[in-house]
Amino acid sequence: MLEKLLILLFASNVLAQVCMPDAPEAYKVRLSIKTALGDQAYTWNDNELYLFRATLAFAMRNYLSGQLFDVSNILVCNETERVSFWFMVKSVTNPTTLIEKQHVENAIKESRHRINSAFLLTDQTLEFLGILPTLASPFVPATPPWLIAFGVVMGVVGAGIVYFLVAAVVQRKRKKTLDEEEEAKGATENEIAGENLDGIYNTSFSDDEKVTEM
Amino acid sequence: MKLLIPNPGLDKRIHTYDDLERMDREQAEDRPKWDNKAQYILTCVGFCIGIGNVWRFPYLCQSHGGGAFLIPYLILLVLEGLPLLFMEFAIGQRMRKGSVEVWRDINPYLTGIGIASMLVSLLIGLYYNTLIAWIVWYLFNSFQSPLPWTQCPLNENQTGYIAECQQSSTVDYFYYRVTLNTSTSISDSGGIHWPVVVCLLVAWTVIGLCYIRGISSSGKAVYVTAILPYIVLAIFLVRGLTLKGALAGIKYLFTPDVEELIKPTTWLDAGAQVFYAFSLAWGGLISFSSYNPVHNNCKRDAMILTAITGCTSVYAAMVTYTIIGFRATDKYEQCISDNIQTLINAFDLPEINITADNYDEALKYLNSTYTDIVMGLDVIPCDMQRLLSEGVEGTGLAFIVFTEAITKMPGSPIWSVLFFVMLLCLGLSTLIGNIEGVVVPIRDLGLFPKTWPQEALTAVTCGVAFVITLLFAQHSGFYWVTLFDNFAGSVPLLCIGLFEMISVVYIYGVDRFNEDIKFMIGSKPGLYWQVTWRCTSPLIILVILVFYLVIQAQEQLTYLVWDPSSEQFPVLDSVPYPSWINAVIFLLAGIPSLTMPIYALCRLLYVYLKKKSIQ
């Protein structure tokens, strides 16, 4: 009876250290190298997998400071040709237990950019299923550019309107003084050439006002 | 055919030929004059070529059988547009008055036609300038990189994008939410959206500046606003043809579907489009040609303008469809690559197994071997034809489809600026003609004191119009603009055009008209013009009008709403209009159409009562 219990305990310990897909502490990773890099894509091999385990250990070290994670703490299984696999993280302090999902997620989120850069990938091409990619907040400039454009256009239009109005007023004033001069000139001419008043179509008296400045 | 309604006193009201000769010799008229012929032609071209040529004609072309639509369009252009155009030019040049005075001179009972033209120009001008305000907003927002309609804003807890943006698209969100802040129904006004107010201010001040001295200022402005669109279209044509998928778009546009020619709606739409495109019955063309010298060859002008309008429509359609073809191809490839990703993720296949080339066979194989799994996936069928045909009309084309396509071109802010500057110029040049058709009749009717200078008239008109267009700055403004577009610019124009033709041919007298034209340009109009003026054109307009009214009366009036809570979101939901809209529709379409008979009746009553009181 006691031996059976011992064997069961031993077996469960061994099992706890073997990576299993869909385990509560496991994450699935998917890499789309060809999509990201096209012709310059590198082939996925064991060395790349080693680098992955190393970067993940780096992330865990950063997150849980003091605990020195090593490549051997990162367990990988179920590799496919797609380049996807599952991984789990063994604890440093207690080699028989696994780190919980939440801690792994936080560690990855903190060092996500570094992990991506190690593989020349992005949040979309190096997917951790279950961890949402961090969203870049939209770029909002300090002064809305449309306000600047609006100010420029309204300035130009306002200047144009002011120019036209001033020109119209100046022209009207000039016309008024010209009319007054013409009337005075016409009166003196009439006194000089007395008999020729009738029958001449005197254009200086013609209706200037009809020709509006349109 | 001596079918002529007696018209006493006509000779006393209009200039005699001697008067006209004297005015021409001595240049002693008090009307404004064109600086040169080029200004006149450019103003008319700018008036006729508007935003509708860029976004209405390509849609009609493609939805009514592609290249085959050109046949009814060109036929009706020549049978319906050209005769009416020549008639408006000739009558304006002969009478040398604005649109109200021309009809008053022909017969005082016909003044209603001029008033109706003015009302239609006013109503159309109001919503047209709102479109220009939206274009101005997009133009102002194009001076940044990345363009603001490429990004979705984040939601409150920064975990994802705003749901409305996520479900539709960034361009949809920017148009319906950021620009317009659309409410969910036309009855829900929701207050004023101030970015639109600011842009309306810009739009009205710009048009006020262009028209501040009447045609002497607008005549200079048209050198830019009428020529720049052609240059920009050429640039876009070159850019468009070098994009991937452009030829697919052009092929789609010009693939003729000859069966569409048998359908009456095709001919109806072609007829209405000719009318709207030529800006006939707006009153502006009569006004513009009245500033011409007496012996100007208006027949040649009408033919030149018809040719230019027809060619520009086809040219703009080609450019539009290169861009649409590019966008559809891009979306198609995106769709295919998304599906490929889904498949290889589901089956854990290496990435090189399924590519765009063998996608179809791979899908077929997987579907037959693992049918259940494939059913469970979200594999959207990628349909190129559907992508080419979606969202291609009206405001949707410019503000959604085109802006999306521009974001995918390298150097997008430049293309965006160019595109919206082109739309702005197209709109401004049409609006100049529009404002002419509003200000001149108002002055002729005596609603302004005679002592006011032109600047004051323009300022007051623009100011009042700005206040009225604040209606379109509400959250439901988008629905009001659509309402105006559908009803103010359709039936009234057809009615006025019909009345114009009947008045000139049967009340003024087509024989007298022929003599006038012989006096002005030296030769009597030929058989073609006689036949079209007397029977063909009025008949065509009448048929289109009757069919249009019949079709409208049968359908229940619905409109498309942007409703994030509806099931079909992001597709626009089709919702019936509230019942009070019928009153508004009557105001928009009924009053301008009925102005002429109502005015004639009122005048009849007035004259009868006066006679009775004298007796």
Domain coordinates of chain A in residue numbers?
27-128, 146-178
Query: In this structure, what token pair is assigned to residue A148?
Result: 């600047």
* pLDDT, tens digit, 9 for 90 and up, residues B487-544: 887 888 889 999 999 999 999 989 999 999 999 999 999 999 999 999 999 999 999 8
B202 contacts A150? CB cut-off 8 A:
yes
Q: What are phi and psi of B154, to 5 degrees?
A: -80, 155
> For residue B157, which residues of chain A lie inside 8 Å, CB to CB?
none
Minimum distance, in Å, between the CA of residue A118 and any CA atom of chain B:
20
Strand partners, B559: B575
Which pLDDT band, with edges at 50, 70 and 90, does B422 fall under?
very high
What is residue B112's predicted lDDT score, i.e. its pLDDT?
A: 92
Residue A90: strand, helix, or coil: strand
pLDDT at A110 over 60: yes
Considering only alpha carbons, which residue of chain A is nearest residue B340?
A35
The predicted model gives B564-582 an average pLDDT of 84
Give the one of A82, A164, A165 whose C-beta lies nearest to B344's C-beta.
A82
Best to test chain A binding among B23, B26, B30 (most A CBs inside 10 Å) = B30
- CB-based contacts of B585: which residues, under 8 Å, 6+ apart? B483, B487, B557
Higher per-residue pLDDT: A185 or B68: B68
Q: Give the Cα separation of A51 and A64 in Å (integer).
A: 20
Give the one of A32, A34, A164 whose C-beta lies nearest to B213's C-beta.
A164
Strand partners, A28: A86, A129
B154 contacts A32? CB cut-off 8 A:
no
pLDDT at B307 over 90: yes
- CB-based contacts of B188: which residues, under 8 Å, 6+ apart? B475, B476
Give the one of B144, B337, B348 whose C-beta lies nearest to A82's C-beta.
B348
What is residue B414's predicted lDDT score, i.e. its pLDDT?
A: 93
Angle between helices B298-347 and B359-369 (to 10 degrees): 40
Judge whether A138 is closer than 8 Å to chain B, CB to CB: yes
Q: What are phi and psi of A50, to 5 degrees?
A: -60, -45
B202 contacts A83? CB cut-off 8 A:
no
What is residue B391's predicted lDDT score, i.e. its pLDDT?
A: 60
Which pLDDT band, with edges at 50, 70 and 90, does B392 fall under?
low
Considering only alpha carbons, which residue of chain B is nearest residue A206?
B28
Q: Give the Cα separation of A24 and B482 in Å (integer).
A: 56
CB atoms within 10 A of CB B331: 20
> For residue B179, which residues of chain A lie inside 8 Å, CB to CB?
none
Do the Cβ atoms of B84 and B91 come closer than 8 Å?
no
Which of B38-42, B57-61, B490-494 has the least mean pLDDT? B57-61
Judge whether B139 is closer than 8 Å to chain A, CB to CB: yes
Give the one of B143, B205, B344 whose C-beta lies nearest to A157's C-beta.
B205
Residue B558 CA from chain centroid, whole number: 21
Do the Cβ atoms of B288 and B369 come closer than 8 Å?
no
Q: What is the mean pLDDT of chain B?
A: 88
What is residue B205's predicted lDDT score, i.e. its pLDDT?
A: 93
The predicted model gives A72-87 an average pLDDT of 85
Minimum distance, in Å, between the CA of residue A6 and any CA atom of chain B:
39
B143 contacts A146? CB cut-off 8 A:
yes
Percentage of the residues of chain A whose pLDDT score is greater than 70:
78
Minimum distance, in Å, between the CA of residue B438 and any CA atom of chain A:
16
* pLDDT, tens digit, 9 for 90 and up, residues A18-42: 777 778 888 888 888 888 888 888 8
pLDDT at B430 over 50: yes
Percentage of the residues of chain B whose pLDDT score is greater than 70:
98
pLDDT at B234 over 90: yes
A165 contacts B348? CB cut-off 8 A:
no
Judge whether B166 is closer than 8 Å to chain A, CB to CB: no
- E strand or H helix that includes residue B112: helix B111-140
Do the Cβ atoms of B416 and B369 come closer than 8 Å?
no
* pLDDT, tens digit, 9 for 90 and up, residues B162-197: 888 888 888 989 999 989 998 888 888 888 999 999
Sign of CA pseudo-dihedral A149, A154, A157, A163: negative
CB atoms within 10 A of CB A174: 10
Considering only alpha carbons, which residue of chain B is nearest residue A144?
B141
Strands, E assignment, A37-179: 74-77, 84-89, 126-129
* pLDDT, tens digit, 9 for 90 and up, residues A83-103: 888 888 888 888 888 888 888
Strand partners, A128: A29
Which pLDDT band, with edges at 50, 70 and 90, does A194 fall under?
very low
> For residue A146, which residues of chain B lie inside 8 Å, CB to CB?
137, 140-141, 143
> For residue B154, which residues of chain A lie inside 8 Å, CB to CB?
135, 137-138
Q: Give the Cα separation of A54 and B73 in Å (integer).
A: 70
B214 contacts A214? CB cut-off 8 A:
yes
pLDDT at B77 over 70: yes
Do the Cβ atoms of A108 and A115 come closer than 8 Å?
yes
Which pLDDT band, with edges at 50, 70 and 90, does A214 fall under?
very low
